[in-house]
């Protein structure tokens, strides 16, 4: 059956990670979150799951096939997107975790994270429209003037207006210091922007009455490089005295990118021709303000990987249990049928369990990070807030990179599980492969994320970020060394953690002498870090499941599956950590010794 028929939001597992693995009830003790009880959170997740399945999932394949169209400067989204967007706004999903002062619901970011996963699973292309708006809201909320907040945030919260982030230009992506877009002061507090931006997600569309572009540009006297970048707020329509869309601004969509996936989202080339804008924050400090938006976006992209991974898994499993092909190697399992389901075959189970282990481990990691985001914002103790923020900073490149790799892998494993039906358009799995691929690229490629982790986060504040992970893991291993329920896991966790500690020391030492050593090790180091993180989480989840079974509470089958998945992860996936450690130790020479001509000598 097509993927449109296969998905159910994994609310049961979300409840497990929020209430059994972690204690989300702490959220209601924070100022402003008093109403965020476990019951309220569960109700929100239940309703969100129903809405996304009923309203967004039916538009996923049709939106991909139809795509967006550009005619006379007007971009049309696929059929049904506008109506679904209006319902999405009416249900308050555009303002779940935003400040009530500006019309937000004020729920914890933890709830937002779980809902994000559901949105992506059901319609990744659609989800990017409100997702970009949320990032725009965050940047204005943290760096804009009071007047800018009052004018723009309520409209972003209701979804009447949407937002974008405009960074990339034809000649520069990662190296933003090379941007050429200029902003000339007009003498009245406004600026005239001229330049071109490309790859702008949701850059032009028909879902909202106005679009708020956040644009990186340089002042006439700006210093060279990244120290000369400022951030500007450039609306599609300049608001009038009633804060309604007024005069059309000088920003136009010249083309929609013809791309591999996410066809339902308009990825635009935008031209700024004397566009009127207003500075956000301080002159030449725009990159720091934009990174507020990008860091939130990187976490959101990690959730995109998880969302794709979940619907790929559910779709592949749904297919496997019904698809009859051959007989079990152990003997016929369904004698009343002409063939056994492919679920009896070990290699099919291997693929499905790999997807399941990454998804459930990734969801546990996402909840851990999300709870620390809320703690960093709301906890009464400033020292606790700082520690929580340190942890979020450390884990951001890990969840962005590992979970988007895992999501792409899951989609490809889904195709492999479904065989020819996975490869053709009708069943929808090949769309997931195409949609998932961008998540490994945008908001900083996964290689850039690895460099951020190994080159910046590792040594930041004399290792302060690392302590937020190393200390709890070390303590957990010590406390469970003699725990019989943990015996099948904790030894392997200790080995992986030891390799991570050694690799951290090696990179820190070699990087002082040669930064290329850090670059050569960074991707393997990030993967080693991620595997160790998942090992830590899977051990905890297995212990929680064993305790529940002993106490005779809850769904026994759920807890037994959780323990079996933990065993699969430890025996079939965690061994990759040792390979990562060995590759890190190999140094840079096998990568950097090849001269340029050597790459093409056999061509």
Retrieve residue 462's tokens.
């004399």
Q: Distance (Å, rounded) from C-alpha 95 to C-alpha 129?
A: 13
Catalytic residue list contains 184: no
- Give the pairing of strands 161-166 and 210-217: parallel
Q: Distance (Å, rounded) from C-alpha 275 to C-alpha 381?
A: 44
Whether the CA torsion 490, 494, 496, 497 is positive or negative: it is positive
Q: Distance (Å, rounded) from C-alpha 430 to C-alpha 419?
A: 11
Q: Quick one: which H or E segment has residue 308?
A: helix 286-322
Distances (CA, A) of 85 to 70, 131, 289, 344: 19, 12, 28, 42
Retrieve residue 157's tokens.
């919260």
- Assign 234 to helix, strand or coil: strand
Q: Distance (Å, rounded) from C-alpha 259 to C-alpha 267?
A: 8
Phi, psi of 285 (to 5 degrees): -120, 20
Q: Quick one: which H or E segment has residue 123?
A: helix 109-143
Q: What is the DSSP letter of 597?
A: G
Count the neighbouring beta carbons within 10 Å of the beta carbon of residue 34.
11
Retrieve residue 431's tokens.
């769309």
3-state secondary structure 462-490: HHHHHHHHHHHHHHHHHHHCCCHHHHHHH
* Active-site pick, 20, 117, 310, 443: 443
DSSP letter for each residue of 504-531: HHHHHHHHHH-HHHHHHHHHHHHHHHHH
Which residues lie across from 276 on neighbouring strands? 192
Retrieve residue 15's tokens.
């409840």
- Residue length, the chain? 603
Spatial CA neighbour of 318 closest among 65, 75, 4: 4
Q: Could you give the dihedral angle defined by the CA atoms of residues 239, 245, 251 and 256, in that order, rounded to the nearest 10 degrees?
A: 140
Whether the CA torsion 204, 210, 212, 217 is positive or negative: it is positive
Buried b (16+ CB within 10 A) or exposed e, 119-133: bbbbbbbbbbbbbbb
Retrieve residue 11's tokens.
């609310």
Question: Which residue in this structure is represented by tokens 């601004």?
Answer: 249
Spatial CA neighbour of 164 closest among 250, 233, 246, 104: 233
| Residue 259 half-sphere exposure toward CB, CA atoms < 13 A | 26
Report whether 223 contacts 175 (CB < 8 A): no
Q: What is the DSSP letter of 223?
A: P
Residues involved in catalysis:
443
């Amino acid at each position: 059956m097509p993927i449109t028929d296969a998905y159910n939001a994994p609310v049961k597992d979300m409840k497990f990670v929020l209430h059994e693995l972690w204690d989300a009830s702490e959220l209601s003790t924070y100022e402003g979150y008093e109403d965020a009880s476990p019951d309220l959170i569960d109700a929100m997740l239940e309703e969100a799951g129903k809405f996304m399945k009923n309203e967004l999932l039916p538009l996923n394949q049709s939106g991909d096939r139809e795509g967006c169209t550009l005619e006379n400067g007007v971009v049309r989204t696929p059929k049904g997107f506008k109506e679904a967007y209006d319902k999405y706004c009416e249900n308050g999903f555009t303002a779940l975790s935003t400040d009530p002062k500006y019309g937000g619901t004020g729920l914890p970011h933890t709830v937002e994270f779980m809902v994000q996963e559901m949105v992506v699973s059901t319609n990744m292309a659609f989800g990017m429209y409100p997702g970009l708006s949320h990032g725009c809201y965050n940047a204005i909320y943290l760096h804009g003037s009071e007047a800018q907040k009052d004018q723009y945030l309520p409209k972003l919260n209701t979804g009447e207006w949407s937002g974008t982030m405009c960074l990339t230009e034809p000649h520069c992506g990662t190296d933003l210091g090379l941007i050429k877009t200029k902003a000339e002061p007009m003498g009245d507090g406004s600026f005239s922007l001229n330049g071109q931006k490309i790859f702008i997600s949701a850059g032009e569309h028909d879902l909202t009455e106005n679009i708020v572009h956040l644009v990186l540009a340089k002042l006439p006297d700006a210093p060279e490089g990244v120290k000369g970048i400022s951030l500007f707020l450039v609306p599609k329509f300049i608001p009038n005295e009633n804060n309604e869309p007024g005069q059309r601004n000088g920003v136009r969509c010249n083309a929609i990118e013809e791309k591999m996936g996410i066809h339902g989202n308009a990825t635009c080339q935008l031209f700024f021709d004397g566009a009127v804008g207003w500075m956000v924050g301080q002159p030449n400090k725009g990159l720091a303000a934009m990174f507020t938006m990008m860091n939130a976006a990187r976490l959101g992209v990690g959730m995109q990987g998880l969302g794709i991974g979940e619907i790929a898994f559910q779709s592949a499993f749904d297919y496997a249990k019904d698809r009859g092909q051959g007989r079990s190697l152990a003997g016929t399992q369904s004698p009343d049928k002409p063939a056994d389901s492919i679920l009896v075959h070990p290699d099919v189970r291997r693929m499905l369990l790999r997807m399941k282990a990454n998804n459930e481990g990734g969801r546990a990691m996402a909840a851990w990070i999300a709870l620390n985001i809320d703690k960093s914002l709301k906890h009464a103790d400033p020292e606790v807030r700082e520690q929580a923020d340190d942890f979020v900073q450390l884990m951001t490149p890990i969840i962005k990179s590992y979970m988007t790799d895992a999501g792409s892998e899951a989609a490809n494993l889904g195709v492999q599980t479904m065989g020819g039906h996975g490869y053709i358009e009708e069943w929808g799995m090949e769309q997931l492969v195409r949609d998932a691929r961008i998540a490994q690229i945008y908001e900083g490629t996964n290689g850039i994320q690895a460099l951020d982790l190994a080159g910046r986060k590792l040594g930041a504040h004399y290792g302060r970020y690392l302590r937020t992970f190393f200390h709890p893991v070390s303590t957990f291993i010590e406390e469970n060394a003699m725990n019989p329920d943990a015996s099948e896991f904790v030894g392997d966790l200790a080995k992986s953690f030891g390799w991570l500690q050694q690799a951290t020391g090696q990179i820190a030492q070699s990087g002082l002498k040669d930064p290329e050593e850090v670059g050569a090790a960074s991707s393997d180091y990030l993967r080693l870090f991620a595997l160790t993180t998942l090992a830590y989480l899977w051990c905890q989840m297995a212990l929680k499941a064993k305790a529940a079974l002993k106490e005779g509470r809850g769904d026994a089958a759920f807890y037994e599956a959780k323990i079996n998945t933990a065993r699969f992860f430890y025996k079939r996936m965690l061994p990759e950590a040792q390979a990562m450690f060995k590759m890190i130790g190999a140094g840079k020479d096998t990568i950097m010794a090849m001269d340029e001509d050597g790459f093409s000598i056999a061509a």
